Chains A and B, each alone.
Chain A
Amino acid sequence: KNQVEQSPQSLIILEGKNCTLQCNYTVSPFSNLRWYKQDTGRGPVSLTIMTFSENTKSNGRYTATLDADTKQSSLHITASQLSDSASYICVVGIPANQAGTALIFGKGTTLSVSS
């Protein structure tokens, strides 16, 4: 069964600190892996998209890594800010020409950054 598991479920850190969110997946075949940020009451916004041939991708203070062999990914947030407080969703894409069913969503990690 195609599944995406994220850990931890929630996390509280102090402003300025770094943190790492984890994603394990059992999705086959695999095409790409995405991380989305979702602010409360808003739609998800894409942070990074990596294909199986990419090991790391950065977007500002966000760095995603991918190990396709172990089927693990991580999202590292550097020098956290209050605005980083959100839900971070790991999403795995399967090869398809239909955008909708091609994505398997994790349930997200809720990050709270406190001052």
Chain B
Amino acid sequence: QLQLQESGSGLVEPSQTLSLTCTVSGVALRTGGYSWTWIRQPPGKGLEWIGYIFHSGSPYYNPSLKSRVTISVDRSKNQFSLKLSSVTAADTAVYYCARDHRGGYGLDFWGQGILVTVSS
């Protein structure tokens, strides 16, 4: 059964870089037909798509965050990662990783989410 698990620091100081990792089990990242995605949700608010990466390493970012976001993949560990630089309180959110089943199926499997708070 496919599982995704987010990990990383739950508290980041303003102006610093948020770093999270998603560990995937049950399927290899190199499996064709999927991209690997980050989404976030500020407390009490809606969902925002951050970006995706293919196993080949080709990322695509939401233009609203593009200048601050880096998504990378470590195929040897079956993980993909998110870095968000120059964070502010507005970046406080639950961050989810998810699988994007390409070809018309959308986001089918999600991690449980990790709360990241930006505060000094």
A and B from one assembly? no
Residues of B within 8 A of A (CB): none
Q: Chain A interface (Cβ within 8 Å of chain B)?
A: none
